[in-house]
Structure 1
Amino acid sequence: MSFNRVYGKQLCAELNTTGFKKKFAFSLLTLCITHAFAISAANAADSATTSDKTRSEQTLVVTADGNNEAKTEATKSYTVPATRAGTKMNLTQRDIPQSVSVLTQQRIKDQNLQNVGDALANVTGISASQNDSERVDFYSRGFYLDNYTYDDIPSAQTGAWNFGETDGDSAIYERIDIVRGATGLMTGTGNPGAAVNMIRKKADSKTFTGNLSASYGSWDNQRYVADLSGPLNDSGTVRGRVVTGYQNQDSWVDRYHKRKKFLYATVAADITDNTTLDLGYDYQTRDTDGPTWGGLPTWYSNGSRIQYDRSANPSADWTHYNILSRKVFANLTTNFDNGWQVRVNGTHAESDFDSKLLYVTGYPDQTTGILDSSGYGYAGWYKGLRTQTAIDAYASGPFELLGRQHQLVAGVDYSRQRNRYLYSSTILSPAEIGNWNDWNGDVAEPDWPAWALSSEDTIRQKASYMAARFSLTDPLSMIIGARYTQYSAQGTTADMKKNNLTPYGGLVYDINENVSAVTSYTSIFKPQTYRDQQGNYLKPVTGKDYEAGIKGDWDDSRITASLSVFRIEQDNLGQILSNTYVNNSSENAYKAAKGVVSRGVDFEINGAVTDNLKVTFGATRYVAKDASGDRTNPYMPQTSLKLFTSYTLPMLPELTVGGGVNWQNRTYKEATNPSGQTERVYQGSYPLANLFARYQINKNLAVQGNIKNLFDREYNTNPSGGVAFNEPRNYSVSLNYAF
């Protein structure tokens, strides 16, 4: 049945008063009516034309069985009917003129993706560089991915310091939306590769529901998660949800041990029939013993390659890496009967880390294992604190102009991020390191020098943005918009202010009721702290993204597909000037130059091919070169394929099986060998296969098994420097109880 906002609320009330709701009884009522509310706003924007209306209407089917269970397909889907990714207008993926991927909770569950990093590594067009055991960098289309947002509020990440963005637990998120290409309209500053938006779970159930899971896997990996939600008053106008978990694990790496705890709590209150206030708290802590820092040395001093056991760990016994993050957030959402929505979203986050690390570099003797004269151990003790306060407010909805219905979004946001980093470091001599061939981490902890300030900065952004989707003709729509940003950085590394106007434009042409042709131009900027010879800060690095392709959706967006070609240009990249200094000081001077050009194509199909078969398949190919014609980030794959399937057996519907494979092409890095020459170190192409099976024992209890790296392929996870190994073949078994 089709739901509008009013009728959906009436039905929800009826379900809770006519026998479906029994006090203190367990039941499963899937409350996807909130999705239908959002979809009805998109319907209103498209209702002027028959073809738009037919394409944008969404249907929600609710069925109940004899056990008073109500299920919707949305809870088990690999797709969503609509998203605000890219523009904050509630659109189908087909109506967004950029490449968009959605990773739903069901896909995360099927693949057993326990943290954000695992999830991103399985997204089309995203590639991972595992710098060490705690830091994972992600790249898209040749560019470092530094745009992470939480419920649409950006949080900038820097590669040098790790606050655990990619290690956040996936259990607290409803889904993850990824927009590839430049995303300056919504995120402000950053690189033009992609942006990731983590959408948190909501307290949206008016009946008591829950999910308890326990799993055990290779290397004594124990994980326990509880997800409980329900009403906090008789009418259900105040609701709560708690997601909490604990994980304790060893590793295939010697002397490595990790403990993780998280608590996520949120309360939703219906202030009026149309206005809801959400309040939440997110607490996560990760304590790691024996973390690695960078990779292992590649060569012996005689030039031969060092052959390591896969479990080799270059860290010392006294090393650790501890991260604590706390976030409080609130959002106030009002939905009007005319399809408009007004939302105010705010957050305050504090993250800190404390790490003692050891990095060993040089060329050991093959016989004695003693490092040569260029070798040493670098011991570092680092502490960091990052706080961010941000608020975003916007209104979106349909409007009429020249007899046609269109859509508009307009908003403002403000953020302040403070970063403070301290360090204490010292050098361990080759004699103190000892025989590298017998290294076991047993080295004395150094006497740490006094703390020194690495950097302390405050970054502020003030912005206003507006975008409109105009229905020009029945098959043709146009999205145009812009963001004006005032950026300032003050502290030990910079004292600068920059203003920037970021444009956005796109066209969508409906070829038929299922397929559209799209094209877009988007951009993004990133201030830089380099200065020219006169002492002026260089202009921000700008990223321009040109994209064109075709998109399709079928069966009310149960399956979506896209094929796009793109070109990204990055300009004003700071380049050092030899023997030139700022105002005759010791500070090196820079000049702005043309940067990187990335060209390529990507393809993705995602969703329910049949009632029993779900498939996600993505393929990406790009070529990125700098102004000199050299390949950019050659340690990242330029071609990648990612496939995952899930199949429920028709003759045995309690059993679901599936699996997939990720493949990437050969990569290389430039490294200096013992002879002082630059040598290319290659990592050959490889596939990573995985399998899963889930059996529904009864309506509440299910058991699931996962196998990762089925063929036990071995490769270097740190292609940008040193040697580090991926996880071997491993398994996990989990029990899940839903009520």
Structure 2
Amino acid sequence: MSAPRGKSARFFAHTPHINKIFTLSLLAITVHLFIYLPSAHAAGSNTTATSETQQDVVVYGAPADNSVDKTKQDYQVKTTRAGTKLLLTPRDVPQSLSVITQQRMQDQQLQTINDVLNTTTGITSERDDSERAYYYSRGFKLNNFTYDGIPTSMGDAWNYGDTASDTAIYDRIEVVRGATGLMTGAGSPAASVNMVRKHADSKTATGSLNASYGSWNKQRYVADLSTPLNQSGSLRGRVIAGYQNQDSWLDRYTKNTKFLYGTIDADLSERTTLSLAYDYQDADTSNPTWGGNPVFYRNGTLTHYRRSLNSSANWTYYHTTVRKLYADLVHHFDNGWSTHLNGTHAENTFSDKLLYVGYLSMPDRDSGEGTNGFGSEDSGKRELTSVDGYASGPFALFGRQHQLMLGVNYSRQHNATDSSNGTTSADGSEIASSDIGIFNNHWNGNIAQPNWGDWYQNANDIIRQKSAYTAARFSLTDPLALIVGARYTQYRSNGSSGDMEKNNLMPYAGVVYDLNDTWSAYASYTSIFQPQTYRDSTGRYLSPITGKSYETGLKSAWDDGRLTATFAIFRIEQNNVGQEQDGVYVNNSSEQAYVATKGARSKGAEFEVNGAFTDNLQMTFGATRYVATDSTGRYSSNQPQTVFKLFSRYQLPTLPELTIGGGITWQNRVFWDVSTPDGSTQRVYRSSYPLANLFTRYQINKQVAVQANINNLFDRTYYTYRNNDVYGEPRNVSVNLSYQF
């Protein structure tokens, strides 16, 4: 259940020159990086053979020397299917792409998808409370999440389940920015996040054990064990299990999570592999917040509560459970073609009891009295069943080699949520202020449970998508390649939000021109759509919201693709967004009528360099600057429009057992217009802020290593939500001991 929105915000000092200063600094850093990047010795775009799942397949632009694995600690990957499902090098994908590898996740201790997104180039976030977060790219909300390329529709009720997933089970996380309709079908034009899970790929017994302890009594234990299950190693198993227990900088908050992932990979023949997997994740939270602390006192002045103040009651909780089954079948043919058949069944459930403080009335400044609240008891279940199959490989035409991919996808998703309101007031609309008592820095959450009303249905919808998609890469000349594709989707929803059926064709086009062995110029057009249940005055459903991305830029690769750089200029459009028509109703009924608008525009530039500068130095640096507007002015003004993120690791040549590193993120100020307690509207600002972190690792011997991480090094106080006082994490420390065998 979404938190009530309304009268709360924080005013910060205006710093009018910071954006100009940062822009000049960013330009200087970009020029410096381009000047001092290593000399070019990347492979060109000739067709060569590489390895995917231990089989030979055709890869365009892949490095010739793939036999020596010197990339185990890299922040970059050699090949990816992100963006098009064609197996390409990152340089040959005509769209902005970031890949977060296992090494990067280990160095930064990125333990959830939420952690990963907060460190990814071009992604910003807004944390509503202790459990929920929303993500944005280039000004648009991100709701496209895929697992091994299989899309999931994520509504607001589920924004904790997908991004709270533990990264220990994933090989890497791929983020493609801009519209991604070719890969995901329905969704927003922000970006797409693909989680690539680990496989049982070792023919010898191996594994790792990790134990860590950190601030707020955070304990974490993870075991990752692989072994062959027969003498030849054609049948292999892998188990990853973890447990985590933690308190928080918030008073009374505790959280326990556990997960279990098991997979069996079987080589049915030399060219056919079957993979079966099961994923279970469970989280229990006591005293979670719903929203944050009130921002205004009743007289309109700003509150100044301590960071550790928890607005929840002692009877509140969150419980989430995720269960997933996977099945993959891959076959490689002698002619370079391969077929992939994936199936997934996932069940997400949640239940909670929550308290929102300051629902309609703010506290008195002196006494802390007069604050009301709202209670909610909720439960929900999401079931997703999806099957995806595609074939890809080379073909010859006009004396040149090209690449083709064809696929089909079917998914059925059932979303059901129910709620019960907790109230004590006479009209049943709130928890009366007399029950809340005094809300101040000494609040301890010790209040009685409210009267819980009858359960009612929030949503009960079934969404079906049937898609057929294709993409082809044409080698027009040695330096010039054209990628074209399309996805046709039949979208149907039935249930509480109305019965609707929409069909949509989403085209994809990209061109890549190799300027030399290192640099390529590219341009692309992609699209996406999102059906909506609003209707116009005649009763017709509005056309789907459409998103379009236009992007052009430069890409480069050094050292056989171990280091890449991208400079992109983009424009994103979102059209047909439904807006209310004042005083107009559907067919003269009580249903509000809507009209489609031209929507929003976002345009800007993005830069990322990622990978191995030397064998000892890994670094990722990303910077984004955009301007987003709609018919009323600035669009998504609560999201920063200038962001940079830097992180690096350095292994000392004179003491190779020691690795040091760290990074910094910075974002510019944001603003929004809010209603104050007296009913007036005030534009408030949240100032820019940097966050710094450090880490060091010492390899005691071949098997044992110890690592320490410090986050928010300078203990910067900052807010993560526009409508409440929801603080970001204070400075925190963790120490990790790992054993590899």
TM-score, normalization: structure 1?
0.91
Q: Which residue of 1 aligns with 2:385?
A: 389
Shift of 1:369: 1.0
1 CA distance for matches of 2:193 and 2:77? 16
Q: Which residue of 2 aligns with 1:606?
A: 610
Q: Does 1:196 align with 2:186?
A: no
Q: Does 1:665 align with 2:671?
A: no
Q: Which residue of 1 aligns with 2:357?
A: 360
SS state of the match for residue 587, structure 2? helix
2 CA distance for matches of 1:133 and 1:61? 46
Q: Which residue of 1 aligns with 2:492?
A: 488
Q: Does 1:215 align with 2:215?
A: no
Q: Which residue of 2 aligns with 1:86?
A: 83
Q: Which residue of 1 aligns with 2:71?
A: 74
How big is each residue's C-alpha offset from its partner over 1:319-370, in whole Å with a ceiling of 9 and x where there is no partner?
0000000000101000122211100000000010001000012321111211
Q: How does 1:551-590 map to 2 (within 5 A)?
A: 551-590=555-594
SS state of the match for residue 182, structure 2? helix
Q: Does 1:240 align with 2:246?
A: no
- Comparing 377-386 and 433-442, the one that deviates more: 433-442
Question: Retained in 1: the 8 A contact 2:174–2:193?
Answer: yes
How big is each residue's C-alpha offset from its partner over 1:145-169, in whole Å with a ceiling of 9 and x where there is no partner?
0000000001111124445111110
Q: Does 1:506 align with 2:514?
A: no
- The percentage of aligned residue pairs carrying the same residue is 57
Question: Retained in 1: the 8 A contact 2:240–2:261?
Answer: yes
2 CA distance for matches of 1:677 and 1:615? 48
Residue type of the partner of 2:652?
L
Q: 1:41 aligns with which of 57, 65, 70?
A: 57
SS state of the match for residue 304, structure 1? coil
- Comparing 434-443 and 251-260, the one that deviates more: 434-443
SS state of the match for residue 594, structure 2? strand
Q: Which residue of 2 aligns with 1:21?
A: none
1 CA distance for matches of 2:634 and 2:615? 44
How big is each residue's C-alpha offset from its partner over 1:243-265, in whole Å with a ceiling of 9 and x where there is no partner?
10000000000110000000000
SS state of the match for residue 186, structure 1? helix
Residue type of the partner of 1:156?
S
Shift of 1:671: 1.6
Question: Retained in 1: the 8 A contact 2:63–2:78?
Answer: no
2 CA distance for matches of 1:481 and 1:61? 32
Q: Which residue of 2 aligns with 1:542?
A: 546
Q: 1:380 aligns with which of 370, 373, 376?
A: 376
Q: Which residue of 1 aligns with 2:725?
A: 723
How big is each residue's C-alpha offset from its partner over 1:44-75, in whole Å with a ceiling of 9 and x where there is no partner?
xx4xxxxxxxx53342344xxxxxxxxx3332
Residue type of the partner of 1:41?
V
Q: Which residue of 2 aligns with 1:138?
A: 135
Residue type of the partner of 2:267?
D
2 CA distance for matches of 1:82 and 1:127? 26
SS state of the match for residue 730, structure 2? coil
Q: 1:690 aligns with which of 693, 699, 717?
A: 693
2 CA distance for matches of 1:396 and 1:598? 34
Q: How does 1:118-157 map to 2 (within 5 A)?
A: 118-157=115-154
Q: Which residue of 1 aligns with 2:63?
A: 57
Q: How does 1:360-439 map to 2 (within 5 A)?
A: 360-361=357-358, 362-371=361-370, 376-426=372-422, 427-437=430-440, 438-439=442-443
SS state of the match for residue 156, structure 2? coil
Q: Which residue of 2 aligns with 1:677?
A: 680
Q: Which residue of 2 aligns with 1:49?
A: none
Question: Retained in 1: the 8 A contact 2:326–2:343?
Answer: yes
Q: Does 1:351 align with 2:348?
A: yes
Q: How does 1:280-291 map to 2 (within 5 A)?
A: 280-291=277-288
Question: Retained in 2: the 8 A contact 1:351–1:387?
Answer: yes
SS state of the match for residue 41, structure 1? strand
1 CA distance for matches of 2:229 and 2:517? 44
Residue type of the partner of 1:307?
H
Q: Which residue of 2 aligns with 1:170?
A: 167
Q: Which runs of 5+ in 2 are unaligned?
A: 1-48, 423-429
1 CA distance for matches of 2:687 and 2:67? 48
How big is each residue's C-alpha offset from its partner over 1:667-706, in whole Å with a ceiling of 9 and x where there is no partner?
1222211221111221111110000000000000000000
Q: 1:714 aligns with which of 717, 725, 730?
A: 717
Q: 2:647 aligns with which of 644, 649, 658?
A: 644
SS state of the match for residue 724, structure 1? coil
- Comparing 343-352 and 449-458, the one that deviates more: 449-458
Q: Does 1:329 align with 2:326?
A: yes
Q: What value does the CA root-mean-square deviation take over the aligned residues?
A: 1.2
2 CA distance for matches of 1:333 and 1:227? 24
- Comparing 331-340 and 384-393, the one that deviates more: 331-340
2 CA distance for matches of 1:156 and 1:105? 26
1 CA distance for matches of 2:635 and 2:566? 26
Q: 1:115 aligns with which of 109, 112, 116?
A: 112
Question: Retained in 2: the 8 A contact 1:36–1:60?
Answer: no
SS state of the match for residue 103, structure 1? strand
SS state of the match for residue 307, structure 2? coil
2 CA distance for matches of 1:627 and 1:304? 32
Q: Which residue of 2 aligns with 1:472?
A: 476
1 CA distance for matches of 2:374 and 2:292? 13
Question: Retained in 2: the 8 A contact 1:261–1:286?
Answer: yes
SS state of the match for residue 165, structure 1? coil
SS state of the match for residue 77, structure 1? coil
Q: Does 1:445 align with 2:443?
A: no
* Distance change in 2, residues 1:557/1:359 (3 Å): same
* Distance change in 2, residues 1:561/1:36 (3 Å): farther
Residue type of the partner of 2:58?
A
Shift of 1:586: 0.8
Residue type of the partner of 2:643?
S
SS state of the match for residue 609, structure 2? strand
SS state of the match for residue 262, structure 1? strand
2 CA distance for matches of 1:698 and 1:651? 16
Q: Which residue of 2 aligns with 1:738?
A: 740
SS state of the match for residue 352, structure 1? strand
Question: Retained in 1: the 8 A contact 2:666–2:689?
Answer: yes
Q: Point out which structure has higher relative CO (alpha carbons under 8 A, 6+ apart).
A: 2
Q: Which residue of 1 aligns with 2:26?
A: none
Q: 2:628 aligns with which of 606, 619, 624?
A: 624
Q: Does 1:456 align with 2:460?
A: yes
2 CA distance for matches of 1:636 and 1:333? 42
Q: Which residue of 2 aligns with 1:292?
A: 289
